[in-house]
Amino acid sequence: MLNFVGRGSAHTCDGKTRRDFLQVGSLGVAGLSLAEYIEAKELGQVADGHDERSCIMIFNLGAPSQLDTFDMKPDAPLEVRGPFKAISTSCGNYQLSEILPKHAAISEHIALVRSCHHTGAAVHDAGWQMMQTGRQFAGGVNSPHAGSVVSYLKGRRTDLPPFVVLPETMGRGGGNLPNGQAGGFLGKAHDPFALMADPSKPDFKVPDLLPPENLGEVRIARRRKLRDLVDATVKDFESTENAAMMGRNFEAAYRLMTSTQAREAFDLTKEPQSVRERYGMNRFGQCCLLSRRLVEAGVRFVTINSFLTVFDEITWDIHGSKPFTSIEGMRDIVAPMYDQGYSALIEDLHQRGLLKNTMVCNLAEFGRTPKVNPAGGRDHWPQCFTVGFAGGGVKGGQTVGASDPIGGVPADRPVQPGDVLATIFHSMGLKLDSHLPGPAGRPFPLVDFGYREIHELF
Average pLDDT over residues 386-401: 98
Helices (H), 366-411: none
pLDDT of 207 reads 72
Question: Which of 360, 235, 220 lies closest to 302 in space, CA to CA?
Answer: 360
62: left (phi over 0), alpha (psi -120 to 50) or beta: left
Cα 286–354–32 angle (5° rounding)?
Answer: 85
Question: Which of 336, 317, 333 lies closest to 325 in space, CA to CA?
Answer: 317
Residue 123 has pLDDT above 70, yes or no: yes
Which element (helix H / strand E) includes 253? helix 241-257
Average pLDDT over residues 115-120: 98
Residue 39 has pLDDT above 80, yes or no: no
- The CATH 3.40.720.10 domain(s) of the chain lie at 46-211+270-457
pLDDT of 174 reads 85
For residue range 125-155, list pLDDT tens digits in order: 999 999 999 999 999 999 999 999 999 999 9
pLDDT of 189 reads 94
Lowest mean pLDDT among 99-108, 171-180, 268-277: 171-180
Structure-model confidence comparison of residues 7 and 182, the more confident one: 182
Residue 36 has pLDDT above 70, yes or no: no
- Give 22's pLDDT tier (boundaries 50, 70, 90): very low
Lowest mean pLDDT among 256-265, 378-387, 395-404: 256-265
Structure-model confidence comparison of residues 209 and 298, the more confident one: 298
pLDDT of 413 reads 98
pLDDT of 26 reads 35
Given a contact cutoff of 8 angstroms between Cβ atoms, the answer to whether 340 and 347 are in contact is no
Distance CA 22, CA 7 (A): 9
Lowest mean pLDDT among 2-6, 85-89, 337-341, 450-454: 2-6
Average pLDDT over residues 29-42: 47
Average pLDDT over residues 21-35: 40
Residue 369 has pLDDT above 60, yes or no: yes
CA of 221: how far to CAs of 19, 181, 234, 258, in Å?
15, 33, 21, 11
Query: Which amino acid type is present at position 190?
Result: H
For residue range 192-203, list pLDDT tens digits in order: 999 999 999 999
The mean pLDDT value of the chain amounts to: 87
Residue 291 has pLDDT above 60, yes or no: yes
- Give 15's pLDDT tier (boundaries 50, 70, 90): very low
Residue 249 has pLDDT above 70, yes or no: no
pLDDT of 2 reads 35
pLDDT of 312 reads 85
Q: Facing residues of 97 across strands?
A: 86
Distance CA 55, CA 149 (A): 12
Q: Which CATH number fits domain 46-211+270-457: 1.10.287.130, 3.40.720.10, 3.30.450.40, 3.30.1490.20?
A: 3.40.720.10
Q: Can you give the C-alpha Rg of the chain in angstroms?
A: 22
Average pLDDT over residues 6-18: 37
Q: For the stretch 317-332, what's the b/e string if a residue is b when 16 or more beta carbons lie within 10 angstroms of its beta carbon?
A: bbbbeeebbbbebbbe
For residue range 70-103, list pLDDT tens digits in order: 999 999 999 999 999 999 999 999 999 999 999 9
